[in-house]
Structure 1
Amino acid sequence: MTKRLLIVAHAPSPNTVAMRDAVLEGAQHPDIASITPDVRSPFDTAADDVMAADGIILLTTENLGYMSGAMKDFFDRTYYPVLEEKQGLPCAIVIRAGNDGTGTKRGLDTILTGLRWKQVSDPLICKGEWDDAFLPSCSEIGMTLAAGLEAGVF
């Protein structure tokens, strides 16, 4: 049975596009056969997309010490429609932070606790100046969640 991994990524710059693509690349690892990744902008993601997902990865920039407005908009529109049905949804967080990412992480943790989604890995916070070394970690997040879904671990 094929499972669906929803990747909701706010990628407003070439660097965040590279991060999003690395997450997708990990989720499409050749050893993972029964996962269908679905990559969407937060603005193009609706509650029905979350309802159809078996797992979700959230990638956001840090904006003014918080998640991007696009990611906040996603949660504003989908929170209550998915609240009861998607409890326990396996999820992972990727934050591109110019500062330290703690405010963004705290905001996401609060929302995910309310939704009762299960974070299956520590949040990945790529902070400071851009570093190509962020990309393998992004790929690992995608691979970890996809492999865990495929194996039935999550």
Structure 2
Amino acid sequence: MKQLLIVAHAPSENTRLMAEAVVNGVNHPDIEGIACRWLPPLEATPEDLLGCDGIILGTTENLGYMSGALKDFFDRCYYPCLELKQGLPCALYVRAGHDGTGTCRAVETICTGLRWSWIQPPLVCKGEWDSEFLKQCETLGTTMAAGLEMGVY
């Protein structure tokens, strides 16, 4: 069974709902060969990253940047995983109060350094809260899980 790791910062009710929507998407009834774990960035370890076959990152936009918690995850995991996880399929969703540009650029720069492979452009849920964000996050989870299960990524 392939392992999908979700490392998502969820400091509010809405961002928790977004992370749960990603998990729900991964657990779609038509997908059987994927196990998923959601960990807050401050709890995720290099060992968690080394044990996964794909990763979905979730963050809030904080002053035009990723959350400090997600940055901490990268700081702790970058060098222990650099040579061992090249080509890891990855995806990103951002809960942005503005446009999410700086947040996406920062995360993409780090993931490019890790030589991870993007499965799609980042999902940026921007502006006022919209329940459509949950559907988009669920679709992201299903897309990643289905691709991993079929061996596309």
The TM-score bracket by the shorter chain reads over 0.9
Match in the other structure for 1:12: 11
1:9-88 pair list within 5 angstroms = 9-88=8-87
Please, what TM-score do these two structures have when normalized by structure 2? 0.99
What's the CA shift for 1:88? Answer: 0.2
RMSD: 0.4
For residue 73 of structure 1, what is the amino acid of its counterpart?
D
Structure 1 gap segments, 5+ residues each: none
Q: 1:42-61: per-residue Cα shift (whole Å, max 9, x none)? A: 00000000000000000000
Q: Give percent identity, aligned residues only.
A: 61
What's the CA shift for 1:122? Answer: 1.1
What is the DSSP-based 3-state SS (H/G/I as helix, E as strand, rest coil) of the residue aligned with 1:50? helix
What is the DSSP-based 3-state SS (H/G/I as helix, E as strand, rest coil) of the residue aligned with 1:26? helix
Q: 1:94-129: per-residue Cα shift (whole Å, max 9, x none)? A: 000001000000001100100000010110000001
Structure 2 gap segments, 5+ residues each: none
Moved over 3 A (4+): none
For residue 25 of structure 1, what is the amino acid of its counterpart?
N
Counterpart Cα distance in 2 of 1:93 and 1:60: 8
Q: 1:3-54: per-residue Cα shift (whole Å, max 9, x none)? A: 0000001000000001001000000000000100011000000000000000
Q: How many residues align?
A: 153
Please, what TM-score do these two structures have when normalized by structure 1? 0.99
